[in-house]
Amino acid sequence: MPDPRFFEKRGPFRLQELATRSNGTLADSSQSDLSVEDVAPLEQAGPQDISFFDNKKYLGAFEATRAGACVVHPDFADRAPAGVALLLSHEPYKAYARIAQMYYPPSEAAAGVSPAAHIGDGVQLGGGCAIAPGAVVLDNAVVGRNTQIGPNAVVGENVELGADCRIGANVSLSHCLIGDRVTVHQGASIGQDGFGFAPDPAGHVKIPQLGRVLIGNDCEIGANTTIDRGSSQDTVIGDDCWIDNLIQIGHNVRLGRGCILAAQVGISGSTKIGDYAVMGGQAGISGHLTIGTGAQIGAQGGVLADIPAGAKVTGTPARPIQVHYRQLATLARMTKRKGERNE
């Protein structure tokens, strides 16, 4: 059970309610009134909990679970232990996500401005805002309704935040316009100067960075991630992008809708990323490139040229995954042959 010091539980809910909200169906409709208290992983769940099974790696745990109810794909329904009420879904992980959100909706800070916060002149605060102790909201910033600004976070002058955003502790925001329902996790820095200068041994000459950062709706920005503002254009993050921790996004970069970037990714300046692109951890992309819709870049991949829509690439320089692995296999084979002769 989640630690009640940190997580406030709702519920219980009837199994039918869970099915309805998660677009699932009950394997046995006579169980619709079953009262379910909590969510839990397969191994820890008890008779009052609902769990889920989605990753075959955990099939053993599914077959042994003592959960009272379980979300599962219909193809695996017959692997469930007797007595587990089954909530069938073709997307069990997503269904479980919706169920877990019912029990544990995002925490709501009490509305109001802490007397230990600093609010500048001309700031507009929407109804229901919560401004934590130590937060600094500078002149003329706009904070949408129900948005939460965490302790010691900084919202720069004229920055605009939409409704229902959550800005974490020690976040720094400047020169940016942010949509609704955006979460920025602790320590992220958004809107600072990009890395723009004309190199010169007598002293590099800075290019004023005159763009902004525009972040759409429903985005998640990870802890200690950095997003530079544009140099002449804006840096743009499309709706529904999920950006993990310690990621670098350079000036003028444009991310389409729904992109997924794992931790420690780096994207150099002026590169454009199509909708629904996915980048594995520690991958990097050079500047001024175009990455097509739905392209996937493997972890630690290094992209030095445009990538077409739908391509799956990895390695440095990034190449199609099959090519990369065939090359690795060739090298392994050749090395082994050498080894057989020489050792």
The residues in 143-202 that bind its own copies, with binding defined as CB under 8 A, are 150-154, 156-158, 168-172, 174-175, 183, 185-189, 191-193, 195, 197-201
Which candidate in 175, 185, 251, 324 is catalytic?
A: 251
Stretch that binds its own copies, among 25-33, 59-67, 70-78, 260-268 (CB under 8 A): 260-268
By the rule CB under 8 A, 112 interacts with its own copies:
no
Please say if 185 is a catalytic residue: no
Query: In the complex with its own copies, which residue's Cβ is closer, 73 or 118?
Result: 118
Question: Residues with Cβ < 8 Å from 242, sequence gap 6 or more?
Answer: 219, 220, 259, 260, 261
Hey, which residues between 74 and 103 contact its own copies (CB under 8 A)? 91, 93-94, 96-98, 100-101, 103
Q: Is the peptide bond before 151 cis (omega within 30 degrees of 0)?
A: no
Q: Which stretch binds its own copies (CB under 8 A): 60-68, 69-77, 121-129, 210-218?
A: 210-218
From candidates 27, 111, 210, 321, binder to its own copies by CB under 8 A = 210
Residues of span 118-137 touching its own copies by CB under 8 A: 118, 120, 132-134, 136
Q: Which stretch binds its own copies (CB under 8 A): 25-33, 61-69, 122-130, 333-341?
A: 333-341
Q: Kindly state the smallest distance separating residue 102's Cβ from its own copies, in Å.
A: 9
> Which 8-state DSSP code applies to residue 86?
E
Q: Which residues of 12-46 are buried (b: 16+ CB within 10 A; e: fewer)?
A: ebebbbbbeebebebbeeebeebebbbbbebeebe
- Pick the closer one to its own copies by CB: 31 or 289: 289
b or e along 80-94 (b: 16 or more beta carbons within 10 Å of the residue's beta carbon)? beeebbbbbbeebeb
Cβ closer to its own copies: 68 or 211? Answer: 211
Smallest gap from residue 338 Cβ to its own copies (A): 6
Q: Position of tokens 């809107």?
A: 191
Positions in 261-320 near its own copies (CB under 8 A): 262-264, 266, 268, 276, 281-282, 284, 286, 288, 299-300, 302, 304, 315-317
Q: Rounded CA gap, 45 and 36, in Å?
A: 11
Burial of 267 (0-12, 13-18, 19+ CB in 10 A): buried
101 Cβ neighbours under 8 A, 6+ residues apart: none
Kindly report whether the peptide bond that precedes residue 12 is cis, defined as omega within 30 degrees of 0.
yes
Helical spans, DSSP H, in 169-224? none
Q: How far is the CB of 86 from its own copies (least distance, A)?
A: 19
Name the residue nearer to its own copies (CB basis): 4 or 83. 4
With contacts defined by CB under 8 A, name the span among 27-35, 65-73, 77-85, 326-334 that binds its own copies.
326-334
From CA 187, how far away is CA 225, in angstroms rounded?
7
> To the nearest whole angstrom, how small is the minimum distance from the Cβ of residue 124 to its own copies?
13
What is the identity of the amino acid at 183?
T
SS3 65: coil
Size of the site for its own copies (CB under 8 A): 121
Placement of tokens 């997307």 in the chain: 91
The catalytic residues are: 251
